[in-house]
Amino acid sequence: MIAVTASSVPGDLVLLALRLFLGLMIFAHGYRKFFGGGRLKGTAAWFESIGVRPGPLNALMAASTEVGVGVLLVLGLLTTLAAAGLMSLMVVAITTVHRKNGFFIFNKGEGIEYTLGVAVATLVPGTFGAGRYSLDHAWSIFSWSPSVRLAVTLIVGLGGALVQLAAFYRPTRTP
């Protein structure tokens, strides 16, 4: 029996597929904030309505982070940090929007199922890197061990979310 590891061809293909999905998915979210629907102005108003203030600054930061993280994941560049950035986005989304709606995404207001799944999925490229089909591999970036990568993904991802929430999340309290 042959052991499949994250550094084997099948492992590299799986890392590529996951990076492409996560990167293109979050890029599309950021692109939509910039160019679709209500654009940054609409996103800013929605952020204000959920207690993320100031809305315009946070809309710009969210859209820029989503586009940037998406591009980095697709390219496999600075992958551990990009995965941490995506984790941070999902933790903020869980905290500000989805946690009050329970687990399932089909619950009214959408539960945490999807955002939690994405946050957990970021641990794979965050821990194992981008694989051989990446700029990280081509340029020998981040030759850290999986343990160090996991720690960086969790510390930067959760820490970034906590800083964002502490600095900007001011939900309206209802009596």
**Amino acid, single-letter form, for residue 71:** V
Contact 94, 119 (CB under 8 A): yes
> Which residues, 6+ apart, have CB-to-CB distance to 37 below 8 Å?
none
pLDDT score recorded for residue 2: 41
Contact 95, 162 (CB under 8 A): no
Encode pLDDT of 75-98 as tens digits. 999 999 999 999 999 999 999 999
Helix (H) or strand (E) holding 2: none
Query: Where along the chain do its domains lie?
Result: 9-168
**Amino acid, single-letter form, for residue 108:** K
Ranges of residues in the chain with a pLDDT under 50 are 1-4
User: CB-side exposure of 135: number of CA atoms within 13 Å?
Assistant: 11
pLDDT score recorded for residue 135: 97
Contact 56, 44 (CB under 8 A): yes
Encode pLDDT of 44-67 as tens digits. 999 999 999 999 999 999 999 999
Closest CA to 96 of 142, 42, 161, 160: 161
